[in-house]
Amino acid sequence: MTSAQPQYWLMKSEPAECSIDDLARAPGQRVPWIGVRNYQARNFMRDTMRVGDGVLFYHSSCAEPGVAGLARVASAAYPDPTQFEPASPYFDAKSPPATPRWLLVDVALVKKTRLLPLRTMRQRPELATMQLLKPGNRLSITPVTAAEWAAVTALLDAPET
């Protein structure tokens, strides 16, 4: 079932692996979102994400985690080739090529923004329900509500204080 309403996502990437600057330098400013090895995150890509959905590009596992830019989902889900590459850190010997276990979507740059730090996001009451901010959340892909998207983009557009 295709939703007529836009959907929004927060997608985490370690800057050492793929930063917002790497996305900006990529051919066509587009990258495959490789390496997702969590079933719930995979299912979001497979079952719910649609081309054109908004993405908060989030830098994680770094000195200053936070939203570093805006992107969009640029493809339907398709098999992640790294699961079949023995030299890849994402290799999965139990994933058969005929029925791949792991998928990815392509993500395209909309714009690089100033960093909206996680610590700032935690202080904003309008973001209190955001899945990213819930204790114990470690998912690399999480849904974002339209209200949360609007709040984050307003913070990104506001002058720094």
56-87 pLDDT, tens digit each: 999 999 999 999 999 999 999 999 999 999 99
Q: Residue 10: its pLDDT value, please?
A: 98
Q: Residue 41: its pLDDT value, please?
A: 97
CA distances from residue 66 to 27, 90, 95 in whole angstroms, order as listed:
24, 24, 32
Decide which of 156 and 161 is more confident. Answer: 156
pLDDT per residue as tens digits for the range 129-150? 999 999 988 899 999 999 999 9
- Type of residue found at 146: A
Q: Residue 3: its pLDDT value, please?
A: 52
Rounded to 5 degrees, what are φ and ψ at 19?
-95, 170
Q: Residue 1: its pLDDT value, please?
A: 45
Q: Which CATH class is domain 8-134?
A: alpha beta
Q: Residue 136: its pLDDT value, please?
A: 87
Tokens of 43: 């299912």
Phi-psi region for residue 52, left (φ > 0), alpha (ψ -120 to 50) or beta? left
Query: So where are the chain's domains?
Result: 8-134
pLDDT per residue as tens digits for the range 80-130? 999 999 999 999 999 999 999 999 999 999 999 999 999 999 999 999 999
pLDDT per residue as tens digits for the range 24-51? 999 999 999 999 999 999 999 999 999 9
Q: How confident is the model at residue 4 (pLDDT cuts 50, 70, 90)?
A: low
